[in-house]
Amino acid sequence: MQLDTGWQSLLYTLSPGPSTELTKFHLNAIHDVASTPSNLQLWNYSSTNNCPLCGRQQCNLKHILTCCPVSLKQGRYNWRHDQVLRVIVQPIAEKLKEVNSSIPKTEEKMEWRKFVSGKGIYQKPEVQLTGKPHLLEEGNDWKMVFDEDERTRQFPQHIVNTALRPDVVIYSNTLRKVILIELTCGNE
């Protein structure tokens, strides 16, 4: 997520947007001034810069967000990944519900627009215009499977037999189409 950190945006535009705490964390992380043990020692607020979880020296923001072995073992990174995944899956589920309750669309014939110039009306070309429907609008039997730690899901076995688990699988049996979504939450 790219955040406009200009003063105009922060003071006026973001008021209905991200919370104050999220904006504060984002700005501190961008400029590496978050209250990490390394920064606290640098600013003489702490005598040590060790990670409170694993004891590693030089506990900076990168260590906290991506590579602390205790956080990894406790599933903290997976929790963050699953939280982001839930935010993404919710609007997709709503769209699938809307599409599945409607009649599938096919290619539609479209009319050419008539343009008027100083010399008169242009003639319509002989070529027929067609508008393709959106991929999801082609069918009404879409299903979604998403994988998170609390409830692991297998890839639909009737599509392909695999042990791989993408984050989101959207598929239609009648159209024989599959959409895969893989989410990566790195060092934001």
Cα–Cα distance for residue pair 76/99, rounded to 1 Å: 35
Contact 134, 161 (CB under 8 A): no
pLDDT value of position 188: 45
Burial of residue 1 (CB within 10 Å: 0-12, 13-18, 19+) is exposed
- Output the 3-class SS for 66-123: HHCHHHHHHCHHHHHHHHHHHHHHHHHHHHHHHHHCCCCCCCEEECCCCCEECCEECC
pLDDT tens digits, 1-49:
566 667 666 655 555 566 778 778 878 888 889 999 999 999 999 999 9
Confidence of residue 132 (pLDDT cuts 50, 70, 90): confident
Sequence-distant (≥ 6) Cβ neighbours of residue 98 within 8 angstroms:
none
Residue 155 has a pLDDT of 85
The larger pLDDT score, comparing residue 4 to residue 60, is at 60
pLDDT tens digits, 82-94: 888 999 999 999 9
Model confidence at 186: pLDDT above 70:
no
How high is the pLDDT of residue 96? 95
The C-alpha atoms of residue 61 and residue 36 are separated, in whole angstroms, by 6
Mean pLDDT of the 153-174 span: 89
What average pLDDT does the chain have?
82
Burial code of 52-79, b = ≥16 C-beta within 10 A, e = fewer?
A: ebeebeebbbebbbeebeebeeeeebbe
* pLDDT value at residue 131: 67
